[in-house]
Amino acid sequence: MKRSKGLHKSSRNRLLRSNDERKTVPIGKFLQTFNVNDNVIISPEPFFQRNIPHRRFFGASGKVIREKGRAYTIEVKDGKRYKYIDVLPVHLKKL
């Protein structure tokens, strides 16, 4: 069986930020809140690597199902199925 090359394999360009964005850390992204049934987009912030979703879900839109500690459970459609992902609010944008 072939060995895995890691969770963030082939995601270098997806996790790059422009030079202007590298200078600031958006503290408001840590403090944003969402309500149940809000529509959100998963947009990972590369400066905060903890709890970053799999790259398959980068740019995916979904619905907030519930709050789970500091994170939110998001329902995302992947093909014919709905998948549930726990994501911190840093990696979410409101639609």
The CA-based angle 55-58-59, given to 5 degrees, is 160
Q: Where are the domains of the chain?
A: 34-94
> Can you read off the two tokens belonging to residue 24?
């600031």
pLDDT in tens, 33-65: 999 999 999 988 887 778 888 888 989 999 999
Does the pTM of the predicted model rise above 0.85?
Answer: no
Decide which of 80 and 21 is more confident: 80
Signed CA dihedral, 50, 85, 29, 31: sign only: negative
CATH classification number, 34-94, choose in 1.10.3080.10, 3.20.20.70, 2.30.30.70, 3.30.1490.20: 2.30.30.70
Decide which of 11 and 71 is more confident: 71
One-letter amino acid of 81:
R
- From residue 74, give the alpha-carbon distance in Å to each of 4, 45, 49: 26, 17, 18
